[in-house]
Amino acid sequence: MNKDRRIVLYNPQPDATLKTAELPLALLCISSIPFQQGYDIRIISHHSENSPIDEQINRECAGALCVGVTAFTGNQIKDGLMISRSVKKDYPKLPVVWGGWHPSLMPMQTIANPNIDIVVKGQGERTFSELVDALYQGKSLKDIEGLVFKEGDKIHSNPNRKLEDLNNFPPVPFEIVDIEKYVVNYSGIGSRSILYRSSHGCPFRCGFCSESVVNKSRWFGLKAQRVLDDFEKLHKKYNINGIIPVDSNFFVDKKRVKEICQGILERKLKICWGNVDGRTNHLIKFEDELWMLVKKSGCRIILAGAESGDQFTLDLIQKKTTVEDTYRLMEKCHQYNIKVIFSCMIGFPRKNMNREENIKEVDKEISAAIKMIDQLNSIEPQWIQLFNYLPYPGTALYDDAVKCGFKEPESLEAWGVFNFHEKKNPWVEERQVKFVNMLAYYILKFLNPYADVLTDALAKKYLRPLAWASVKFFKITVKLRWRYKFFHFPLD
């Protein structure tokens, strides 16, 4: 393989606290066409290599055609910029290409960074393949839809590319990475589980979500046959027994869902699948026959956005669901012994209210979330993923957040330290942010009946007696705090 056909792709770490690497699906997807055309693709993930990551990438960059970075808002930007600076220092003429969610949302701010030469906006499969062909052949980039790029001191912003059906692209080339580095033991799904993507986009327009901005509220799913072929390949070639689809909404097409479930059974694939996203008001309309098929095919866990226990807030964020939909989905999943994890956000902006009124509404949101969790737990012990709301550019609520005092990060670097843990919104008080964090990362974590937290058996086996006793103490304390709703003086 000629060195000048080498493409180096880097998958930054989404969370600085993680010590494992997730399968770089975005990079694998954009590699499908170039790989088929004979390009030599090297994908590197943080924590997947033995040597220091910057040294590993710099070695691969010698003689490469370009280096690509994918980035979601937050730590991936911080990590990706560190690598981009290192590459530009040693290889100043090597094109550095950024793509992914954040560059698609803010392409002009991204390209303004001196360590970035090209930005791929939106769906990247076709755009990236045309880009690498142009770089290899020395052609102009001006006619490639979906690109923003520098040419000397000038920045060119080409027209956006329309979302394309995923079935037009070749299969994801799993073979170009070492799958063993990305296999995880996921409780409730499989001892050898792996991430997978079967669809792109989402047809709904929730006010907080950037799907409608990046993908224009369109959805394309791989045909059931292609999904099943991938499942079979992962199972037979790599001994995978758990599939974790990362689709924004896996259940959009009921006919496709039914065909996938039937295919798993007909092919006798010994796999489970789960942590798969669905919509409450959509899933509760599934017929009992389909629910039985979903369960029989190996579905173990469904993720669903409850978003709030307050109907006024659900209407504010244009969710177009009801609190009752959340309870009905909980009952349906309980009926078929499928676990469900609901997500909930606190602290949405209300542009027609002053700061004091907004703060009172946030307290109502917190109270409504606690009430909803109690109601869900009365059906089955439940885990809610609780987050502080953060504004994302281009979403329906973003302008409202700015009007309520949100200060937009003025550089790509500033977005790199954006996270759910710190106070960013002036209409939310510090005490409210800290309270949500305490619920999310302490109270609800220990109340969680089935996530990957320390069980008594694991704690007793792997921890020293004093540490094990501490875990037991925390569990008892948390249960008492929740029962009596006493969250003051969190000395524990």
The pLDDT tens digits for 231-282 are 999 999 999 999 999 999 999 999 999 999 999 999 999 999 999 999 999 9
Q: Please, which pLDDT band fits residue 454 given cuts at 50, 70 and 90?
A: very low
Q: Please, which pLDDT band fits residue 3 given cuts at 50, 70 and 90?
A: low
Q: Please, which pLDDT band fits residue 331 given cuts at 50, 70 and 90?
A: very high
183-453 shares the fold of 3-157: no
Outline where DSSP puts E strands in 126-241: 147-151, 154-157, 184-186, 190-196, 199-201, 219-221
Residue for token digits 């690497």? 21
The pLDDT tens digits for 398-448 are 999 999 999 999 999 999 988 877 888 999 999 999 999 999 989 998 888
The pLDDT tens digits for 29-67 are 999 999 999 999 999 987 656 667 878 888 899 889 999
Mean pLDDT across 442-456: 69
Q: Are 269 and 232 in contact (CB under 8 A)?
A: yes
**Domain boundaries, given as residue ranges, for the chain:** 3-157, 183-453, 454-492
Neighbours of 201 (CB within 10 A): 22
Q: pLDDT at position 210, please?
A: 87
Q: Give the whole-angstrom CA distance, residue 423 versus residue 431.
A: 9
Indicate whether 461 pLDDT > 60: no
Q: pLDDT at position 21, please?
A: 75
Short-list 94, 57, 64, CA closest to 79: 57
Q: pLDDT at position 419, please?
A: 80
The pLDDT tens digits for 134-156 are 999 999 999 999 999 999 889 99
Report which residue type is found at 205: R
Q: What average pLDDT does the chain have?
A: 91
Q: pLDDT at position 22, please?
A: 86
Q: pLDDT at position 213, please?
A: 82
The pLDDT tens digits for 60-116 are 998 899 999 999 999 999 999 999 999 999 999 999 999 999 999 999 999 999 999
- Per-residue CA distances from 16 to 19, 47, 76, 147, 332 (Å): 8, 11, 9, 29, 37
Fold (topology level) of 3-157: Rossmann fold (3.40.50)
Calculate what percentage of the chain has a pLDDT beyond 70.
Answer: 94
Mean pLDDT across 329-334: 97
Q: pLDDT at position 172, please?
A: 96
Q: Are 406 and 426 in contact (CB under 8 A)?
A: yes
Q: pLDDT at position 4, please?
A: 78
Indicate whether 463 pLDDT > 60: no
Q: pLDDT at position 378, please?
A: 92
Indicate whether 458 pLDDT > 50: no
Mean pLDDT across 313-318: 96
Q: Please, which pLDDT band fits residue 300 given cuts at 50, 70 and 90?
A: very high
Size of the chain in residues: 492
Q: Are 225 and 190 in contact (CB under 8 A)?
A: no
Q: Give the whole-angstrom CA distance, residue 264 versus residue 259.
A: 9
Mean pLDDT across 290-298: 98
What kind and span of H or E run contains 445?
Answer: helix 444-447
The pLDDT tens digits for 351-404 are 999 999 999 999 999 999 999 999 999 998 888 899 999 998 889 899 999 999
Q: pLDDT at position 467, please?
A: 63
In DSSP terms, 43 is beta-bridged to 9
Burial 155-193 (b: 16+ CB within 10 A, else e): eeebebbebbebeebeebbbebbebeebbbebbebbebb
Correct CATH for 183-453 of 3.40.50.1390, 3.40.50.620, 3.40.50.10540, 3.20.20.70: 3.20.20.70
Indicate whether 176 pLDDT > 90: yes
